[in-house]
């Protein structure tokens, strides 16, 4: 640890995940003996710059307790809201209650178990230096097509300067808290935390991240994630 400003992970895990064709929320699907959320927390909490985590669960979630997850660093629980940004906001207020505003919030999807320590270091360092924070992202490599009403191509879009947003997305706590409060108070629609910060008049940094940092949203993703995880483990064993 040893940061001048504490860095805490906020892990929203209140969704139910309908695309996984499963009866259980996708964060509780497993490979190699652990659930996705446990793998994700292991990655985050094993990083030396991250001091702990706030896991945001849906109300009446009984699965988390049954995992009996243990970490060497503190893990607090908060209750999620109706939308993802409500859950992140609740996680931030839990963090604020314990540490005040002097903290860095690292928001990470519970179903991204493959983020590397190198990428975590890079995005934390960038966000710490930049008042508007920073996010991991990957340049768009594929040609983009715009569809019409009949699924016909109506336009080919230039991809220059376009990036896919990944997580973690990392901000000074008060910056993100204020931005999300504005979203909630005005009933705005956002697709990630960086958009909330953008709407408040700030410009977060883009930090190039490894495209293997998958978000698990389908059964095929889960199988691919396991293969990547095994490859990462083998590479570590060879070092």
In a domain, 41, yes or no: yes
- A 10 A CB-CB count for 53 gives 25
Q: Mind listing the pLDDT tens digit for each residue in 193-203?
A: 999 999 999 99
Nearest to 123 by CA among 173, 167, 73, 179: 167
What is residue 3's predicted lDDT score, i.e. its pLDDT? 58
Q: What is the domain range of residue 98?
A: 7-135+163-238
* CA quadruple 176, 91, 213, 41: dihedral, nearest 10: 140
Q: How far apart are CA 18 and CA 201, in angstroms?
A: 34
In contact, 8 and 50? CB cutoff 8 Å: yes
Q: How far is CA 160 from the centre of its chain?
A: 25
Strand 34-35 and strand 104-107: pairing? unpaired
pLDDT < 70: residue spans in the chain = 1-3, 17-22, 237-239
Instruction: Indicate the number of domains in the chain.
Output: 1
In a domain, 151, yes or no: no
Helix axes 84-99, 173-185, angle to 10 degrees: 140
CATH label of the domain that carries residue 94 = 3.90.550.10
User: Helix H segments across 78-186?
Assistant: 84-99, 117-129, 173-185
In a domain, 154, yes or no: no
């Amino acid at each position: 640890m040893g940061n001048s400003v504490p860095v805490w992970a906020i892990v929203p895990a209140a969704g139910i995940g309908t695309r996984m064709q499963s009866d259980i929320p996708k964060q509780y699907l497993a490979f190699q003996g652990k659930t996705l959320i446990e793998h994700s927390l292991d990655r985050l909490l094993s990083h030396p710059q991250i001091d702990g985590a706030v896991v945001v669960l849906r109300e009446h979630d009984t699965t988390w307790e049954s995992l009996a997850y243990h970490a060497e660093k503190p893990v607090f629980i908060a209750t999620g809201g109706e939308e993802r940004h409500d859950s992140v906001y609740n996680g931030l207020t839990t963090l604020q209650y314990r540490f005040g505003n002097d903290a860095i919030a690292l928001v990470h999807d519970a179903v991204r178990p493959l983020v590397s320590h190198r990428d975590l270091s890079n995005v934390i360092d960038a966000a710490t230096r930049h008042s508007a924070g920073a996010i991991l992202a990957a340049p768009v490599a594929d040609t983009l097509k715009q569809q019409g009403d009949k699924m016909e191509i109506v336009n080919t879009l230039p991809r220059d300067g376009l990036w896919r947003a990944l997580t973690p997305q990392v901000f000074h706590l008060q910056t993100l808290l204020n931005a999300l409060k504005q979203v909630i108070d005005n009933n705005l629609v956002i697709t990630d935390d960086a958009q909330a910060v953008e709407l408040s008049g700030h410009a977060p940094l883009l930090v190039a991240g490894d495209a293997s940092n998958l978000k698990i949203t389908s059964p095929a993703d889960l199988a691919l994630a396991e293969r990547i995880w095994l490859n990462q483990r083998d590479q570590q064993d060879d070092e």
